[in-house]
Structure 1
Amino acid sequence: MQFESCNNTLTARAFAPAHITGFFQIHDHNEPMKKGSTGCGLVLDGGVYTTVTTGNNVEITEIFLNGEKVSGDTSKSVIESMTELPVKVESISDIPIGSGFGASGAGALGTAYALNHALSMEYTSMQLNDIAHVAEVKNGSGLGDVAGQAHGGILVRKTPGAPSIALTDQIPTREREVCCVVLGKLSTGSVLGNKDMVKNINAAGKEAMKKLLEKPTASNFMLCSREFTMKTGLAGDKVMEIIETAEASGVIASQAMLGNAVFSIPSVTCAQELVDLFSEFGEVHRFRIRTGSIRIV
């Protein structure tokens, strides 16, 4: 449903959760709907709150993240696929940016859902999820986060592509705590553009998926993720030091893909111990696994 004119200021707000990928395989395709990744990751209760505003007072499309104007190419692609109206997008993130938490996917989803609500459009949730996925792959900002964010929990992506065509399954779980330590940013494009790295990723990702499906549990997901990290060589020295230090304390930790961060799902009895350990390396973030998904707020 397109609006040729708008006499009033229309606004809406949506929340989309963070997503951490533990391991993955890259599946390239000329069609954005069929391009993506397979693998497994978990959805967090932290994420991105996105407010969209359109109407007479909005003359050009602008994207703001945590109060600062950004290029926001992925969110702009979402807008362009839904309306010709200029839109102001204001996103507030309570998750690290550029560190493997799926912030761009969350922003794209929030933009799509909020815009759909603000303009009283008639898109279904699946259609909005697909719009966000296509925007992600077209702009090289992600491959599989949107599928996870659209479902929640610990999602196994068995086939690649947009949420409406990807075959997925879930590992049943309660909303357990997830502890993360963030060291800095890592460019997704710099990794995905390296052919040798992609070959290593796909070989390790295929093996990780096979082992996970033999025992689909949260603890085995962490084991498969850590093994994937070791085999791909994606982790820097500091990330490896954190993972090895955690292992020496009896805790399985892994790298958040693709980011310069480490995550773990601790037991209730050792959560504080893990936070203390992580805090020696950087800022610690504590979340819970979110079994729900995107919502209008």
Structure 2
Amino acid sequence: MTPASVTAFCPGHISGYFRRVDGRNPATTGSVGAGIVISEGVTATVRPAERSSVVVRVLSSGGGVPVEVSRSSPPLISALEKLGVTIAVETACRLPISAGFGLSAAALLATLTATNRLLDLGLPADEIAEVAHETEVTFRTGLGDVAACQGGGRVVRTGPGIHGTIFRSFDLDAPVCAVSFGPIHTPDVLGSPPQMARVAAAFPARQPETFTDFFACCREFSAGSGLETPAVQRVLAECDRHHIPAAMTMLGEGVFAYGNQARDVLRPFGEIYEMGMADAGVRIMEVTA
């Protein structure tokens, strides 16, 4: 018997640095780099429908009241079409969209995982991730977030795509706090050869083994990539003054910082989003009969 609805959650991913890797097709195209899979992400609820539809909601900062922000998502509709299904989708998140938190990948993984359970498609997790990754690459909304969000931890990706080698370290037990000044239009960056050449040149030569070196690599990358804005530079300078590990969110005009004092240091710059490191990837949350 088909459930009335299925809800899945997928954590987001803050990328600290990356380099595009072009393959023969979307499946083999992606990126290498490093980031943190975060406890905040996207919840997707799916229901049977004769035609696919999408409602996107963001929880307001005041009391967590869901505010509808969109009734369309071409990547989600495209992914559902690839599976040959029609579904009514409602997604919700607390973090700002298009601000460097990997929410497009999280929405795809959560939606497809819930759909797989709802319709009993029997797809293995790898196949769901492949569809999500190829959709991200095709729509230029991300390159490596899907691969990272398959699990938790602080991740270092040394190969492109969901089958690339990923090292996961679970060494962040204090809060990760972020402040966002707005989106960076990801397709404009990922689709710009000159910008991507500068990004590639700034890619760190070493693989960080500790979270301290991870933040150092991120800072070297953002400074060399030309992506830092004046607002981001002001926040990073203040974090340096207080000896708080911090870096720019990729790709978003914002900063993420680590440690128990991070919230107080970031507070003067705007609304603070506090989260932790995720210990797992996408998962089913609820099945309603």
Do they superpose with TM above 0.5?
yes
Residue ranges of structure 1 left out of the alignment (5+ in a row): 1-6
* More helix, by proportion: 1
Counterpart Cα distance in 1 of 2:222 and 2:136: 23
Aligned to 1:247: 240
Give the conservation status (yes or no) of the 8 Å contact 2:98–2:185: yes
Alignment partner for residue 275 of structure 1, among 254, 257, 263? 263
Cα shift at 1:203 = 1.4
Cα shift at 1:18 = 0.9
Counterpart Cα distance in 2 of 1:179 and 1:31: 36
Cα shift at 1:175 = 3.6
Deviates more, 1:90-99 or 1:170-179: 170-179
Cα shift at 1:258 = 0.5
AA at the equivalent of 2:184: L
Aligned to 2:51: 60
Deviates more, 1:194-203 or 1:44-53: 194-203
Indicate yes or no: 2:211 matched with 1:218.
yes
Cα shift at 1:172 = 3.8
Counterpart Cα distance in 2 of 1:277 and 1:41: 21
Q: Report the 3-state secondary structure (helix = DSSP H, G, I; strand = E; otherwise coil) of the residue aligned with 1:290.
A: coil
Counterpart Cα distance in 2 of 1:8 and 1:145: 31
Counterpart Cα distance in 2 of 1:251 and 1:45: 20
Aligned to 2:64: none
Aligned to 2:274: 286
Give the conservation status (yes or no) of the 8 Å contact 1:222–1:264: no
Q: Report the 3-state secondary structure (helix = DSSP H, G, I; strand = E; otherwise coil) of the residue aligned with 1:99.
A: coil
Aligned to 1:4: none
Counterpart Cα distance in 2 of 1:133 and 1:10: 27
TM-score by length of 1: 0.89
Aligned to 1:82: 83
Counterpart Cα distance in 2 of 1:46 and 1:184: 18
Aligned to 1:103: 103
| % identical equivalent positions | 31
Aligned to 1:170: 168
Cα shift at 1:51 = 0.5
Alignment of 1:199-238 (within 5 A): 199-205=197-203, 208=204, 210-211=205-206, 213=207, 215-238=208-231
Cα shift at 1:61 = 1.2
1:15-73 CA distance string (max 9 Å, x none): 0001000000011234111010000010011110001111xxx3321111103443211
Give the conservation status (yes or no) of the 8 Å contact 2:15–2:249: yes
Alignment of 1:108-127 (within 5 A): 108-127=108-127
Counterpart Cα distance in 2 of 1:292 and 1:171: 12
Q: Report the 3-state secondary structure (helix = DSSP H, G, I; strand = E; otherwise coil) of the residue aligned with 1:60.
A: coil
1:243-270 CA distance string (max 9 Å, x none): 011101112311010011100122xxxx
1:98-118 CA distance string (max 9 Å, x none): 100001000000111000000
Q: Report the 3-state secondary structure (helix = DSSP H, G, I; strand = E; otherwise coil) of the residue aligned with 1:42.
A: strand
- Change in 2 beyond 3 A, CA 1:193/1:291: same
Counterpart Cα distance in 2 of 1:275 and 1:168: 29
Cα shift at 1:151 = 1.7
Give the conservation status (yes or no) of the 8 Å contact 1:175–1:291: no
The CA RMSD over aligned residues, in Å, is 1.5
Cα shift at 1:128 = 1.0
Give the conservation status (yes or no) of the 8 Å contact 1:10–1:119: no
Q: Report the 3-state secondary structure (helix = DSSP H, G, I; strand = E; otherwise coil) of the residue aligned with 1:108.
A: helix
Counterpart Cα distance in 2 of 1:68 and 1:277: 30
Cα shift at 1:9 = 6.7
Q: Report the 3-state secondary structure (helix = DSSP H, G, I; strand = E; otherwise coil) of the residue aligned with 2:268.
A: coil
Displaced runs of 4+ in structure 1, greater than 4 A? none
1:129-161 CA distance string (max 9 Å, x none): 111111111111110001111021011110112
Aligned residues: 275
Counterpart Cα distance in 1 of 2:111 and 2:243: 41
- Change in 2 beyond 3 A, CA 1:158/1:52: same
TM-score by length of 2: 0.91
Alignment partner for residue 252 of structure 2, among 259, 265, 280? 259
- Change in 2 beyond 3 A, CA 1:173/1:252: closer
Alignment of 1:174-189 (within 5 A): 174-189=172-187
